[in-house]
Structure 1
């Protein structure tokens, strides 16, 4: 069982956000991390892979030599981290790519999703023990969407949350540290999409979300429980700056920026999370990731 360390009440609060690729930290919970940084919380973004196999998703970017994708995305990540005010650490695994086709092709040898769980978790355990986060955020078991790296990110995060405080597990990777709360990010929930879509339609504006909502409903994708809502509209500009920093991945004229920020702030000024596990007493619903820790 994990040891229970003395989490001193006068030390800075620490939040670790574990993501699969560079750009995920800017599209999932970014305004929340920017808010906590502004409030004096130490925030570390951990990025599992280098995004080497990502496609250029911004049609305005122009041709790109795939061999240089990893280098470019590291520079983008540095700019995004600066925009959010967070620290950032690479785990050093190789992007698995998003397999397409029927049947799906095999994943490439040596990619993150094929690394044995303990081997993939070891550097994250080491990072947890070094940074000593009180709270960790990651993806739900589905990965948020079925990218193999997102699913693997969930698996290593859950394993590290369980193991980092246990001196018998992952020996030699630092002094044990027991994080207190584990959360899953909630990104584009159906409730959020509907609220923004309806606000745009009522205002006589074009909405980019109509087909998306219909597709989600038709596929009967289950909605996960929201337990924790963070008010963060003041930090949407920092989130947007971080998104734009990932120039290969984010179209500045695409759906991320299709909603006027005044409409978004009025209709949906929050980011949502799902409390997966807590080692401290807390009462749901919450409005703070550190509820029960402070």
Structure 2
């Protein structure tokens, strides 16, 4: 792997880097330049090791802990934004974005990694760092207007030159982890009297799984550096050993924005490298923005797929007819595939997908269907409507024709399965 690649990780606090630690260790060992930017010194954190730190020296202690962790992970450079722990959301937003713009233009990364849109758990600092980094990803690539000066930019020669990073990834915990460890899903992070839940990402929306077992010893060594934060009652301390190891060996990412899209995914629809397809690629402008009608069609389709996923999951869970429950499970799996396609298309167009929810009214209609024939009609009518809508979009949204055509194929297979099932219902 070429050392001309650069990865910039931007996180809110010392120890937030551990969630992508195996990945950073893997790339560092492969010769990739890895830069970690930590937004705060972690001075507001709870102290879990009385002999490690006091409230007065916690910022200094956590600074040294992160320096130790970076050494274990092989991080090339550590940068500090020196924002207030617990107060990042209150910073003047334009100045904060400008500071990260300056960082991006100075580091000139190919790939940026940061907190997810949901924060992983809704810590205000995590959410603010995501919002600031997402804005800076766009702003760093923009050429300033004549005579315009961007506040916060370094005077260092060349720093003010626009830089277009190829991809912005966010770390993620797939929902399947929560399903495998219900006690983890029930855990709450204590923050200023609030109980903050962890939030999983649907497995179908994961874009890259880094298989980085070789980096896990370094990830553990880096975590050992953060002694002041070793909470014996934390969610990760309570997690079954096997699941904890699996999480460290398989780190998950969502592609939040891209100027160089990921190549076509493997048959399991998940990529295995953040840098795939970047060798020799020109990180030019993002995909052409879709017109409002095209974006609306993508959002409508995503919402509908989430409706039918929810309905099929409920049908499978509660049906007294095993053949119909099996059909509903198969249909739900195909809806997951469709959600992956649509969410990816929206993210590549710079859209936020988490806010696209299943339409409650349509979902309620599906769940109200009184008997098996009515449920079959609901599913088949929805599939027929979707095929017609996707075919119409394929004709007008030429830039995403492949997405719409694959959706036609997936939904057509669903309709065939429903019709095949209908032919045998009289024997049930």
TM-score norm. by structure 2 comes to: 0.54
Whether the aligned pair in 2 keeps the contact of 1:31 and 1:232 (CA below 8 Å) is yes
Aligned length: 253
What residue ranges of structure 1 are gaps of 5+ in the alignment? 1-8, 97-110, 198-209
Structure 2 residue aligned with 1:242: 222
Q: Distance in 1 between matches of 2:11 and 2:116?
A: 11
Q: Give yes or no for the alignment of 1:95 onto 2:85.
A: yes
Q: Describe the SS at the equivalent of 1:293.
A: coil
TM-superposed deviation, 1:268: 7.2
Structure 2 residue aligned with 1:30: 21
Q: In the superposition, relative to structure 1, how do residues 53 and 156 fare at CA in structure 2: closer, same or farther (>3 Å)?
A: same
Richer in helix (by share):
2
TM-superposed deviation, 1:160: 1.1
What residue ranges of structure 2 are gaps of 5+ in the alignment? 189-196, 280-428
Q: Distance in 2 between matches of 1:275 and 1:247?
A: 32
Q: Describe the SS at the equivalent of 1:178.
A: coil
Q: Distance in 2 between matches of 1:267 and 1:63?
A: 28
Structure 1 residue aligned with 2:8: 16
Structure 2 residue aligned with 1:77: 66
Q: Distance in 2 between matches of 1:192 and 1:240?
A: 19
Q: Distance in 1 between matches of 2:222 and 2:52?
A: 22
Q: Distance in 1 between matches of 2:185 and 2:233?
A: 20
Whether the aligned pair in 2 keeps the contact of 1:190 and 1:213 (CA below 8 Å) is no
TM-superposed deviation, 1:254: 5.8
Whether the aligned pair in 2 keeps the contact of 1:192 and 1:268 (CA below 8 Å) is no
TM-superposed deviation, 1:125: 1.2
TM-superposed deviation, 1:265: 4.9
Q: Distance in 1 between matches of 2:52 and 2:39?
A: 26
Cα RMSD for the two superposed structures: 2.8
TM-superposed deviation, 1:192: 2.2
Q: Give yes or no for the alignment of 1:184 onto 2:170.
A: yes
TM-superposed deviation, 1:244: 1.2
Whether the aligned pair in 2 keeps the contact of 1:20 and 1:150 (CA below 8 Å) is yes
Q: Distance in 1 between matches of 2:226 and 2:198?
A: 31
Whether the aligned pair in 1 keeps the contact of 2:110 and 2:166 (CA below 8 Å) is yes
Q: In the superposition, relative to structure 1, how do residues 267 and 52 fare at CA in structure 2: closer, same or farther (>3 Å)?
A: closer
Pick from 249, 265, 270 the counterpart of residue 269 of structure 1: 249
Q: Give yes or no for the alignment of 1:230 onto 2:210.
A: yes
Whether the aligned pair in 1 keeps the contact of 2:118 and 2:199 (CA below 8 Å) is no
Structure 1 residue aligned with 2:320: none
Q: Give yes or no for the alignment of 1:159 onto 2:154.
A: no
Structure 1 residue aligned with 2:40: 49
Whether the aligned pair in 1 keeps the contact of 2:97 and 2:135 (CA below 8 Å) is yes
Q: In the superposition, relative to structure 1, how do residues 167 and 268 fare at CA in structure 2: closer, same or farther (>3 Å)?
A: closer
Structure 2 residue aligned with 1:212: 184
Structure 2 residue aligned with 1:140: 116
Q: Describe the SS at the equivalent of 1:92.
A: coil
Q: Describe the SS at the equivalent of 2:7.
A: strand
Q: In the superposition, relative to structure 1, how do residues 36 and 18 fare at CA in structure 2: closer, same or farther (>3 Å)?
A: same
Q: Describe the SS at the equivalent of 1:66.
A: coil
Q: Distance in 2 between matches of 1:127 and 1:220?
A: 29
Q: In the superposition, relative to structure 1, how do residues 220 and 167 fare at CA in structure 2: closer, same or farther (>3 Å)?
A: closer
Q: In the superposition, relative to structure 1, how do residues 71 and 269 fare at CA in structure 2: closer, same or farther (>3 Å)?
A: closer
Whether the aligned pair in 1 keeps the contact of 2:52 and 2:228 (CA below 8 Å) is no
Structure 1 window deviating more from structure 2 (252-261 vs 77-86): it is 252-261
Q: Distance in 1 between matches of 2:50 and 2:236?
A: 16
Q: Distance in 2 between matches of 1:212 and 1:71?
A: 31
Q: Distance in 1 between matches of 2:247 and 2:15?
A: 25
Whether the aligned pair in 1 keeps the contact of 2:215 and 2:249 (CA below 8 Å) is no
Q: Distance in 2 between matches of 1:14 and 1:165?
A: 16
Q: In the superposition, relative to structure 1, how do residues 252 and 287 fare at CA in structure 2: closer, same or farther (>3 Å)?
A: same
Structure 1 window deviating more from structure 2 (264-273 vs 83-92): it is 264-273
TM-superposed deviation, 1:65: 2.5
Q: In the superposition, relative to structure 1, how do residues 236 and 255 fare at CA in structure 2: closer, same or farther (>3 Å)?
A: farther
Q: In the superposition, relative to structure 1, how do residues 245 and 281 fare at CA in structure 2: closer, same or farther (>3 Å)?
A: same
